[in-house]
Structure 1
Amino acid sequence: MDGTRRTPGRGRLAPAAALAVALIASAGCEGDVGLSEASSTPKQPGSGDGKRARSDLSELRVASEGRGTGYARDEFGTRWKDTDHNGCDQRNDVLARDLQDVEKKGKCVVLAGVLHDPYSGKTITFAKKDAAEVQIDHVYPLALAWRMGASRWSEDQRERFANDHANLLAVWGVPNRQKSDSGPGEWKPQKDFQCAYAVKYIAVAKKYSLPVTDPDHDALQTFLGRC
């Protein structure tokens, strides 16, 4: 998620976040439209991926968060720019990659599909008319990256980061809003996805030479224990 800097007391759930948790807990109840229990758990990385991630985590620099002064989404360039030059914007690329039973208009535009949400474990029916139900998350959030050093990057590098498929994931809007600009030390996905989440997060941090905080490092180490 793009994220914005939150107010002090980040460890406590604000009313909106508390509501999001309640929605997640109740999403499988009878009467909900377009939601059901996931029919399968997210695919786990191979044992080699977990081993590589542990090694990479040990080499990541640990640092404190900066203040985040000056952050704005526009600092990360064009939203969903076609950086891989395949003729489709990054949002539709990721939807086509992460959804099942995809229906398209033409080559690129995803009209419908089914998402087995990795963050909550729910199955979400996606339709373009209700596009906010499925959002594209930045696994390593943009606002957090800004606080951890991206504020000193060139505009081109920030744009590449914001549109890099490796850092993008189609997810249900509810947990994505709950996650906001949090790192793994403050927010975590369902247990079945924690290994894959850690592998992905660490790979992005390594690729862009981004440090992690002490709490994020400890959480990632814990998540890798589930690999």
Structure 2
Amino acid sequence: MTAGRSGRRRRRRTGVLLAVLVVAAVAGLLLWQDGAGPAGQSPTAGPESASPAQGTVGPGGVPPGRLALARMQLDHLEVRGWDRTSDFRRQEFGPAWSDDVEVEFGHNGCNTRDDILRRDLGNLVLRPGTCFVQSGTLIDPYTASTIEFVRGPRTSGSIEIDHVVSLADAWYKGARAWDRQRRLDFANDPLNLLAVSPTANFDKAYRDASSWLPPNEAFRCDFVARQIEVKTAYHLWLSAKEKRALEAVLAHC
């Protein structure tokens, strides 16, 4: 075999190896993205199987593949000013915690609030023969505090369900143009919902990442990744200030 022919074969083998590595990297990223489901669908586990995935994670417990995808998605989100054509009204997003939706857990016979409580709480006890959560324990992602939940007229309020991208923020950044079913789906999509403490939920209110981040700094990478995922899934835009805030958090993830 001549030296020239041997060199060409080595170059071909090297080229094939590089191609395989590139394909594997892209496939890994797409595999994580596939877990997020189609637009409007949630990547979260069902209420009965909410155990976190095992594997390598980055700062804040977020897998590197998810962070890479969030950065890529952020680069592609549109930046615009607020659409103030009409004021936000909660009723435009339909009745609270409706099961009549085309997103995960929809049409399962349970209200959305209990779906999220079953997904997010540990030490879970259900009311016999129902999907109602009777009691459980929440580690509030926003504050890292522990909340013992017991269902009752005076105690159920110890946990609230937050829209990670608030309904008001969505309204002014694209949702005003949606039909009522899409707004109802958005308001009940588990991708955009977290069980949290009432204090943190009240403090966050309608604000985006430019004016509010979780006091629990360990959760901030997860929080901004989730906001980016939601806005990507629903084609909502960002304000310029909001994008800078998201970039600043991701820079430390």
**TM-score, normalization: structure 1?**
0.78
Find the aligned partners of 1:55 and 1:62 in 2 and give their Cα distance: 15
Instruction: Indicate the RMSD between aligned Cα atoms, in angstroms.
Output: 1.5
Compare the two structures and name the one with the higher strand fraction. 1
Amino acid at match of 2:243: H
- Farther off after superposition, 136-145 or 101-110: 101-110
The one-letter amino acid of 2:62's match is P
Does the CA contact (< 8 Å) of 1:114 and 1:123 recur in 2? yes
Gaps of 5+ in 2: 1-58
What are the superposed Cα offsets for residues 72-115 of structure 1, whole Å, 9 maximum, x if unpaired? 11100121111322221111000010111111113310111111
In the other structure, the counterpart of 1:49 is 66
Q: 1:162 aligns with which of 187, 194, 212?
A: 187
1:202 maps to 228
> What is the SS of the residue equivalent to 1:113?
strand
Structure with the greater alpha carbon radius of gyration: 2
One of 112, 133, 136 as aligned partner of 2:158:
133
Out of 162, 179, 202, the position equivalent to 2:204 is 179
Task: Please state whether the residue corresponding to 2:228 is helix, strand or coil.
Answer: helix
Identical columns (%): 38
Distance 1:68 1:218 in 2: 25
Q: Equivalent residue for 1:103? A: 125
Taking the aligned partners of 1:88 and 1:175, their CA distance within structure 2 comes to 25
1:61 to 64, 67, 78: 78
In the alignment, residue 193 of structure 1 is paired with which amino acid?
F
Say which SS state the counterpart of residue 210 (structure 1) adopts: coil
Of residues 80-89 and 152-161 in structure 1, the stretch that sits farther from structure 2 once superposed is 80-89
Q: Are 2:174 and 2:235, in contact at CA under 8 Å, matched by a contact in 1?
A: no
- Between the two proteins, the alignment pairs up a number of residues equal to 186
The separation in 2 between residues aligned to 1:162 and 1:217, in whole angstroms, is 22
Give the equivalent residue in structure 2 for 1:123. 146
Asked if the contact 2:142–2:219 (Cα under 8 Å) also holds between the matched residues in 1, the reply is yes
Q: CA deviation at 1:116?
A: 0.4
Secondary structure at the aligned position of 1:75 is classed as helix
Give 4+ residue runs of structure 1 displaced > 4 Å after superposition.
none
Instruction: Choose between structure 1 and 2 for higher RCO, CA contacts under 8 A separated by at least 6 residues.
Output: 1
- Which residue number corresponds to residue 94 of structure 1? 116
Distance (whole Å) between structure 1 residues aligned to residue 85 and residue 247 of structure 2: 26
The equivalent position to 1:112 in structure 2, one of 128, 135, 139, is 135
Tell me the amino acid that sits aligned with residue 170 of structure 1.
Answer: A
